[in-house]
Amino acid sequence: MIMSNEITNGNSVISLKGVNKWYGDFQALKDINLEIKAKEKIVICGPSGSGKSTLIRCLNRLEAHQEGQIHVTGIELHETMKDIDIVRQDIGMVFQGFNLFPHLTVLENCMAGPNWVRGIDEKEAKERAMSMLEQVKIPEQADKYPEQLSGGQQQRVAIARSLCMQPKVMLFDEPTSALDPEMVSEVLETMVELAKSGMTMICVTHEMGFAKQVADRIIFMDEGEIVEENTPEEFFNNPQNNRTKTFLDQILT
Amino acid sequence: MFVDTVVEDKALHKPAFLIGLSVTVLAIFFAFNFTNTIFGEFFSPVIGNPEESGFFGRFVVSFVLSVIFVLNLLAISFARLKIQILIVWFELFLLFLAFAYSFDLKLSFIQSRIGLMISKGLFTTIYISAVSIVIATAIAIVGAIAKLSNNGFAYAIASFYTSLFRGLPLLLQVYLIYKGLPQLGFMVDAIPSGIAALSLCYGAYMTEIFRAGIQSIPKGQWEASRALGFKSGLILRKIILPQSIPIIVPPTGNQFIAMLKDSSLVSVLGIWELMYLAKTLGQRDFRHMEMLLTAAMIYWGLTIILEMIQARIERKYEQKT
């Protein structure tokens, strides 16, 4: 209860203030400031090496930032924090490479989180897993192992696995980049459905159709900086920065 | 090796290779000179008294033997792969038996003592190996996790341990533990100190195997688990270790097999295991070869059984994933 109060009070689920990050001498993130409210859908795009994946991975502290503050669901992420696992339970993450657990069935992949760390008994975890698998439209694959599924199916399972934790925020790190072209749409459809349900979503993606359709804001990054931040209409029709224009020219032709 | 879809000609079916092989084999047989063996006796109707047959006898014997040898190879080369393997195994085994037979063994001597070899020796060997394997596995899991941890103490202790126990000959470790500990005031019996030496030594090797197995799991598995809010211990137990088992099993099986045979080193402590009995039972009657060959066959048989178990476990994991 305390946590949800903090969210409503602070009005931001995620807030970054003056975040800097280096890999050795290379500065991956430069003075990032960002506020994301509940139910917002944010799309982050930019050329490769622009820091967008680094940024999203800092939000559940798979990566560490060196300067500035990151608050997620009202809790600050820092090096000596306690209970990072509790914070992460509320942040779902979908990876480019799916990262399903290959030794567990699809159903077990989805039950693992609720059953092992949420303390939900097996029967209820199974019901929840099945309902999530129905939501991503592959309940019939429940007893298969991940490698028996296509890439698109695996990614939908990965989304279901995250949703089973009933997260407050979902992070998507290039979820369709590793897929064969004909499988991209099934994953995007799932994400659109999820967006309609009111989930707070932050997506690193190059799928501009998806961005137009669901994003409240598009953030364009280049060389570790947020270059431009705008609504989809403004972003596509009236880009302000030259770097944005170049990027859009490249990606839309 | 991964087989190509195009089949090359068999070397044995190329005339040049066949002739070259025949000449080489003839030369080798000629050099070894089988005239004064059972083969020479066999050819005596043709070459007369083997001792006096000279160059002619020596040539005839080696020529006929090399023709038989090459024809045998040629015949086998026409069989199907599985049959080929079986025949070659069988023939090599016959050769081994012939080698053993050439020592003029007294079978009744073996018969009278094989009971003790099995009831006492085999049992003790299996007992020592089995207990050591279990302890070594436990050490290896702890050691591997310690070596991968960020804890300086854990890493230092584990790496010192593996360095020391991989760095000393096992026989030396056996002596150090058996003779050293009593001087420090700890009286240890022979069997416990033998088990301790084997466990510590193989635990060190297996630590490295387990560490490599754990490290071979892609880091995406750790990231996905962490993103779900799993703690490190849970990730290791439920995600990483189960996936590394199929990678760990084959080299661990090799370690088990090696340990079974290295358990013979504890015979220096006077433990009545296979090797010790093989040495002492034969000594009194100067019948060394009988007992040594018996022990050899028992070790070999045990190894074959272990290999079969290992293959079965590997198959099981292959099917599952």
CA distances from A29 to A3, B14, B98 (A): 28, 68, 76
Q: How far away is chain B from the Cα of A137, in angstroms, using its nearest Cα? A: 22
**CB distance B221–A101 less than 8 Å?**
yes
Q: What is the pLDDT of residue A118?
A: 93
Q: How far away is chain A from the Cα of B233, in angstroms, using its nearest Cα? A: 12
Which chain B residue lies closest to A104 (C-alpha atoms)?
B239
Which chain B residue lies closest to A163 (C-alpha atoms)?
B228
Which chain B residue lies closest to A170 (C-alpha atoms)?
B227
Q: What is the pLDDT of residue B201?
A: 95
Predicted confidence (pLDDT) at residue A8 exceeds the cutoff of 70: no
**CB distance A97–B220 less than 8 Å?**
yes
Q: What is the pLDDT of residue A4?
A: 44
Token pair for B277:
């009995």
CA distances from B130 to A67, B260, B269, B306 (A): 55, 8, 18, 12
Counting residues of chain A whose pLDDT is more than 90, the rounded percentage is: 89
Q: Which residues of A touch B234 (CB under 8 A)?
A: 116-117
Q: Which residues of A touch B226 (CB under 8 A)?
A: 60, 62, 85, 88
Q: Mapping DSSP to helix (H, G, I), strand (E, B) and coil, where does residue A110 land?
A: helix
Q: What is the pLDDT of residue B10?
A: 84
Q: Which residues of A touch B220 (CB under 8 A)?
A: 95, 97, 99
Place A20 in a pLDDT band, splitting at 50, 70 and 90: very high
Q: Which residues of B touch A60 (CB under 8 A)?
A: 226-227
Q: Write out the H or E segment, with its range, that includes residue A172.
A: strand A169-173
| Contact assessment for residue A112 and residue A101, using Cβ atoms and an 8 Å cutoff | yes
Q: What is the pLDDT along chain B (321 residues), one digit of tens a residue?
A: 788 888 888 888 889 999 999 999 999 999 988 887 777 778 888 877 877 778 888 888 899 999 999 999 999 999 999 999 999 999 999 998 888 888 888 888 888 888 888 888 899 999 999 999 999 999 999 999 999 998 999 999 999 999 999 999 999 999 999 988 888 888 888 899 999 999 999 999 999 999 999 999 999 999 999 999 999 999 999 999 999 998 998 898 889 999 999 999 988 888 888 899 888 888 888 888 888 888 999 999 999 999 999 888 888 877 655
Q: What is the pLDDT of residue A9?
A: 42
**CB distance A101–B220 less than 8 Å?**
no
**CB distance A88–B221 less than 8 Å?**
no
Which chain B residue lies closest to A172 (C-alpha atoms)?
B227
Q: How far away is chain A from the Cα of B317, in angstroms, using its nearest Cα? A: 10
Q: Which residues of B touch A165 (CB under 8 A)?
A: 228-229
**CB distance A116–B230 less than 8 Å?**
yes
What residues have CB less than 8 Å from A199, skipping those under 6 apart? A39, A169, A170
Which of B119, B137, B138 lies closest to B127, judged by CA?
Answer: B119
Place A1 in a pLDDT band, splitting at 50, 70 and 90: very low
Q: What is the dihedral of CA A69, A71, A75, A79, to 10 degrees?
A: -40
Q: Which residues of B touch A146 (CB under 8 A)?
A: none
Angle at B223 (CA atoms; ends B218, B226), nearest 5 degrees: 135
Q: How far away is chain B from the Cα of A32, in angstroms, using its nearest Cα? A: 22
What is the average pLDDT across A73-102? Answer: 94
Q: Which residues of B touch A95 (CB under 8 A)?
A: 220, 223-224, 227
**CB distance A89–B228 less than 8 Å?**
yes
Q: How many CB atoms lie within 10 A of CB B252?
A: 23
ipTM: 0.92
Which chain A residue lies closest to B320 (C-alpha atoms)?
A103
Determine the Cα–Cα distance for residues B280 and B278; give it in Å rounded to an integer. Answer: 6
Determine the Cα–Cα distance for residues A148 and A105; give it in Å rounded to an integer. Answer: 10
- Convert B39-53 to b/e letters by CB count within 10 Å (16 or more is b): ebeebeeebeebeeb
**CB distance A103–B321 less than 8 Å?**
yes
Q: What is the pLDDT of residue B48?
A: 78
Q: What is the pLDDT of residues A184-235, one digit of tens each?
A: 999 999 999 999 999 999 999 999 999 999 999 999 999 999 999 999 999 9
Q: How far away is chain B from the Cα of A88, in angstroms, using its nearest Cα? A: 5
**CB distance A85–B223 less than 8 Å?**
no
Determine the Cα–Cα distance for residues A45 and A52; give it in Å rounded to an integer. Answer: 7
Total number of residues shown for chain B: 321
Q: What is the pLDDT of residue A3?
A: 45
Q: What is the pLDDT of residue B321?
A: 52
Burial class, B90, CB count within 10 angstroms (exposed 0-12 / middle 13-18 / buried 19+): exposed
Of A85, A95, A102, the CB nearest to B243: A102
Q: Mapping DSSP to helix (H, G, I), strand (E, B) and coil, where does residue A43 land?
A: strand
Residues in B whose CB is inside 8 Å of some CB of A read 218, 220-221, 223-231, 234, 238-239, 242-243, 320-321
- The residue of B228, B240, B249, B321 whose CB has the most chain A CBs within 10 angstroms, and thus the best one to mutate to test that interface, is B228
Of A60, A90, A95, the CB nearest to B220: A95
Which of B36, B68, B38 lies closest to B51, judged by CA?
Answer: B36
Predicted confidence (pLDDT) at residue A5 exceeds the cutoff of 60: no
> Both ends of chain A: CA-CA distance in Å?
49
| Contact assessment for residue B95 and residue B259, using Cβ atoms and an 8 Å cutoff | no
| Contact assessment for residue A59 and residue A47, using Cβ atoms and an 8 Å cutoff | no
Of A62, A85, A113, the CB nearest to B231: A85
Q: What is the pLDDT of residue B142?
A: 95
Of A62, A86, A165, the CB nearest to B226: A62
Q: How far away is chain A from the Cα of B243, in angstroms, using its nearest Cα? A: 6
Which of A101, A110, A112, A183 lies closest to A142, judged by CA?
Answer: A110
**CB distance A162–B228 less than 8 Å?**
yes
Q: Which residues of B touch A158 (CB under 8 A)?
A: 224
Of A86, A88, A161, the CB nearest to B226: A88
| Contact assessment for residue A185 and residue A165, using Cβ atoms and an 8 Å cutoff | no
What is the average pLDDT across A173-185? Answer: 93
- Convert A109-132 to b/e letters by CB count within 10 Å (16 or more is b): bbbbbbbbbbebeeeebbebbbeb
Q: How many CB atoms lie within 10 A of CB B35?
A: 23
